[in-house]
Every structure is written in C-alpha cells, then in structure tokens.
C-alpha cells in the first residue's frame, strides 16, 4: 500500500492485508529556516561605545516571541530557524522584529522581512537633545 504525498503531511502506513492497513497522517508545520538577523550601527558610533551584546526579538502574529542575542564577538549577526509559516488555524504567521535597545542608543530602522532577513540599525543618542513641551 502507498499513500500519495500531501504537502506538509507525513504519512505512516502500518498493518497488512490480513488485519488491514492503518494510515496515519501527521501535520508538519512549514517553517522558515536560516533567516538572517543583522545589527548595524551608524557611522558616528565608535567600537568603544558599543555594548557587548543586545537582544532582538523575532515576534510572530501567532503570539510567539523568539529572543536572539547578538554579540560583538558574533559580529552582530545570527540566523534564526524554525519560524512557523502558519499557525494552528492554518493562517499565515507574519513575523517582525523588535529590539531591547541598549542604553544610550536609539533605533533608526528595521529593514526587510522573514524572506530576506532583517537588518536593525541603531545610532548613538545625542545627550544634548532637548525636548520641548507645548501646554
């Protein structure tokens, strides 16, 4: 006996012609693998000003939150695996990135997406910035 392949399902067949066959299909959630995550700093930041590490979160519309630690030693880059493409209801999972921005820095941009990887850019905060309030 042979089971035709069905996308995202793995079939196992047990039994024989005497007792009958049992076909068990197991759903395998399709995932994104080897998704790049890269941190860049604006040109006016010296290496001495950078933290040793920081955390970036890959957040899914399914409620998932995958923290990824980027480090100076790792050249501010990592890859993320096993990000689900669909949730338990069969809906597409949208992924985005948020950062625990290090003290003394501000987030400039998060570019790209799960298909081509993300680049997160920070710049040093200017301590001389003054905030004005209108009452």
Q: Indicate which CATH number applies to the domain containing 78.
A: 2.60.40.1140
pLDDT, one tens digit per residue, over 28-84 is 778 899 999 999 998 788 888 899 999 999 999 999 999 999 999 999 999 999 999
* 46 and 84 fall within a common domain: yes
* 1 and 21 fall within a common domain: yes
* Residues spanned by the domain of 113: 33-124
* 24 and 90 fall within a common domain: no
pLDDT, one tens digit per residue, over 19-28 is 888 888 777 7
Assigned token pair, 97: 């990135």
Q: C-alpha 45: how far from its chain's center? A: 26
| CB-based contact 9:28 (threshold 8 Å) | yes
* 18 and 4 fall within a common domain: yes
Distance between CA 104 and CA 50 in Å, rounded?
9
* 70 and 107 fall within a common domain: yes
* 80 and 22 fall within a common domain: no
pTM of the entire predicted model: 0.73
Residue 25 counted as domain residue: yes
């Amino acid at each position: 006996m042979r089971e035709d392949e069905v996308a995202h399902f793995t079939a196992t067949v047990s039994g024989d012609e005497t007792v009958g066959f049992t076909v068990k299909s197991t759903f395998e959630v399709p995932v994104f693998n080897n998704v790049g995550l890269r941190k860049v700093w604006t040109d006016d930041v010296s290496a001495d000003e950078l933290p040793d590490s920081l955390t970036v979160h890959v957040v899914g519309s399914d409620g998932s939150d995958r923290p990824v630690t980027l480090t100076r030693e790792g050249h501010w880059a990592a890859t993320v695996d096993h990000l689900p493409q669909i949730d338990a209801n069969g809906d597409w999972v949208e992924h985005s990135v948020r950062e625990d921005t290090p003290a003394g820095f501000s987030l400039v941009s998060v570019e790209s997406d799960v298909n081509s990887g993300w680049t997160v850019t920070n710049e040093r905060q200017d301590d001389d910035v003054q905030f004005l309030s209108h009452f």
